[in-house]
Amino acid sequence: MSASAGRPARTRGGRAGRAAAAALVTAVGVTGLAACGDDPVGPVTGPSSTDMQVLEDRISALEDRVSDLEDAPPPAEPTAQPEPGEDEEPGVLGNGEALVGQAVTVGGEVTELLTVADVGASFRVVGESGDPILVVLATPPADLEIGDLVEVSGRVVRVAEESFELDFGIAADQLFEDAGAFFEEFGGQIAISADRLEPVEDPAG
């Protein structure tokens, strides 16, 4: 009797334990479903260790960059540019080499007439200081004499026999009686291929 009387008691305890466990599982399941229902995306998780490492590496690189900028020497002061007229070669054009190919307008005194013809003229002009510069004009000038004050506009070129006609708009043998002698004296020099020549009044009267 004692043995059979004890079995039902154990059965009731086992059933009660199993019922409690089932209730707990059910509660957890319901809670999980409720959580899923509240957040359709899923549970929120923190950044992974890989993400944290990438972020730390970027922060470290930025800190190194800032440190390099702080340690860098200050920028050098800009070099002062020379004033107009400084370090220039003497002459009516100043540094004529730097002006080759450019259009210029210069004024000066006619110091030498190389040739004056019906097709054009060639002469030298000098400014207030420096050496005279050669001028070649492909149109006949009116009453040009040594000592005249003139203003000349044109393009700066280098005298070369092979390109003379292209540079000055006139053939050398049409302008000079002895073109060979001209190139011997002026070949390689800077000159003005003039397209305008105007007389200038002497300010002294």
Residue 92: per-residue pLDDT: 59
Q: 193 near 157, Cβ under 8 Å?
A: yes
Radius of gyration over alpha carbons of the chain, in Å? 50
- What span, in angstroms and rounded, lies between the C-alpha atoms of 139 and 192? 14
Helix (H, G, I), strand (E, B) or coil at 165: helix
- What span, in angstroms and rounded, lies between the C-alpha atoms of 129 and 131? 7
pTM equals 0.55
> Tens place of pLDDT for every residue, the chain, 205 residues?
444 444 444 444 444 444 433 333 343 344 444 444 444 545 556 667 787 887 788 888 888 877 777 776 666 554 444 444 444 444 456 666 788 889 999 899 999 999 988 889 999 999 877 788 999 999 888 788 999 999 999 999 999 999 999 999 999 999 999 999 999 999 999 999 999 999 887 766 5
- What span, in angstroms and rounded, lies between the C-alpha atoms of 165 and 172? 7
Q: What is the largest CA-CA distance in the chain?
A: 159
Q: Does CATH place domain 96-199 in 2.40.50.140?
A: yes
- What span, in angstroms and rounded, lies between the C-alpha atoms of 139 and 25? 113
Residue 54: per-residue pLDDT: 78
In the chain, where are the structural domains located?
1-46, 96-199
Other CB atoms within 10 A of residue 127 CB: 17
